[in-house]
Amino acid sequence: MRIFSGLCCLLFLMVFLACKHDSFVDTTPDPPVVIDPNDTIPSNPGQGVPCDPDSVYFRNTVLPLLVANCSQSGCHNSVDRPDGVVLTSYPDIMNTVEHITDTDWSENKLIRAITETDPEEIMPQPPNPPLSVEQINLLKTWISQGARDNGCNESYAGCETAGISYVGFIQPLVQAKCQGCHSAASAQGGIVLANYDQVKTLGLNGKLYAAVTRTTNWMPNGGPKLDPCSLDKIKAWVDAGAPQN
Ligand code: HEC
């Protein structure tokens, strides 16, 4: 009997301690950090994106090329708009060029116009010189890669992933891009990312990086994907053991 009640006591103590331990999980949010608007959290497409030599970017190459060769007075600017075609912004190009995303070059109106052999039809119209083969290939590559409104940062020296700091990078990123939906008050998907322990747990179990890199329905939910350098930095921080540095 005594052994039995002793066991009971022990069991009770274990359960009690287990519960007690649970309630020790720190749910106090980190104090907010002041976010410098010029710092490393990019919000413009292109700002923190290094240029990939195999990609053709709309903002860096395609738009300047079209504006320089096609938008002079009387041509495809928003005032003159011959045939309704305007080539001075991404939405205009998407909305006014027939079959702009088509990679069948005999269908795509832009590629057809610049590769036309009839001098009456070819764009740019004589006496302007035709686009070079190299320029035509840049436009074709951009279309083949999805005709996206993309850009890259030409002076971006590369992504520094050594010694990523929680306080200096991870915390401000999570505060700016995640806590709106993942705080104690609004724990969407049951996820709270309000303090270091919570971010670290999701970092080390792989869910943090998986959520920001998955191919559909990525985080931030409904927003643009984080730029590649930020993703590399998150991975580097997790790989380093998610330190509170
Ligand atoms: C606009 C609201 C919103 C924002 C902003 C947001 N999330 Fe989420 N998050 C959700 C919702 C809703 C779910 C649950 C549904 C799902 O998983 O898609 C979720 C789920 C998650 C999950 C669990 C995914 C899984 O299935 O394992 C993680 C981890 C996560 N979010 C991390 C983040 C991170 C990191 C950020 C910031 C970079 C972020 N979220 C920004 C709404 C948001």
Q: Which of 219, 226, 231, 233 to mutate to test the pocket of ligand 1 (most atoms within 8 A of CB)?
A: 219
For residue 55, the tally of other CB atoms under 10 A from its CB is 15
pLDDT confidence band for 211 (50 / 70 / 90): very high
Judge if the beta carbon of residue 214 lies within 6 A of ligand 1: no
Which token pair is 24? 């020790």
Judge if the beta carbon of residue 189 lies within 6 A of ligand 1: yes
The CA distances from residue 174 to 22, 115, 128, in Å, are: 25, 48, 52
CA–centroid distance, residue 213 to ligand 1 (Å): 11
Q: How confident is the model at residue 40, as a pLDDT?
A: 44
Q: Which of 166, 175, 188 to mutate to test the pocket of ligand 1 (most atoms within 8 A of CB)?
A: 188
Judge if the beta carbon of residue 217 lies within 6 A of ligand 1: yes
Peptide bond just before 91 cis, omega within 30 deg: no
Judge if the beta carbon of residue 192 lies within 6 A of ligand 1: no
Q: Mind listing the pLDDT tens digit for each residue in 161-176?
A: 999 999 999 999 999 9
Which comes out higher in pLDDT, residue 228 or 55?
55
Does 12 have pLDDT greater than 60?
no
**Residues 234 and 40: beta-carbon distance below 8 Å:** no
Does 62 have pLDDT greater than 90?
yes
Judge if the beta carbon of residue 178 lies within 6 A of ligand 1: yes
CA distance 84 to 178: 42
Which token pair is 43? 């919000």
CA–centroid distance, residue 194 to ligand 1 (Å): 13
Rounding to the nearest 10 degrees, give the CA dihedral for residues 184, 185, 188, 192: -10
Mean pLDDT across the stretch 205-214? Answer: 97
Q: Which atom, in ligand 1's list, is nearest to the CA of 174? A: 37
Mean pLDDT across the stretch 55-79? Answer: 94
Which token pair is 144? 């083949």
CA–centroid distance, residue 191 to ligand 1 (Å): 7
Rounding to the nearest 10 degrees, give the CA dihedral for residues 138, 139, 145, 148: 120
Judge if the beta carbon of residue 207 lies within 6 A of ligand 1: yes
Q: How confident is the model at residue 35, as a pLDDT?
A: 60
CA–centroid distance, residue 68 to ligand 1 (Å): 42
CA distance 120 to 85: 17
Q: How confident is the model at residue 49, as a pLDDT?
A: 74
Nearest CA to ligand 1 atom 28: 211
Q: How confident is the model at residue 8, as a pLDDT?
A: 52
CA distance 200 to 208: 9
Q: Mind listing the pLDDT tens digit for each residue in 112-156?
A: 999 999 999 999 999 999 999 999 999 999 999 999 999 988 877
Q: Which of 171, 181, 195 to mutate to test the pocket of ligand 1 (most atoms within 8 A of CB)?
A: 181
Maximum Cα interatomic distance, the chain, rounded to a whole number of Å: 108
Residue 238: exposure state from Cβ atoms within 10 A (0-12, 13-18, ≥19): buried
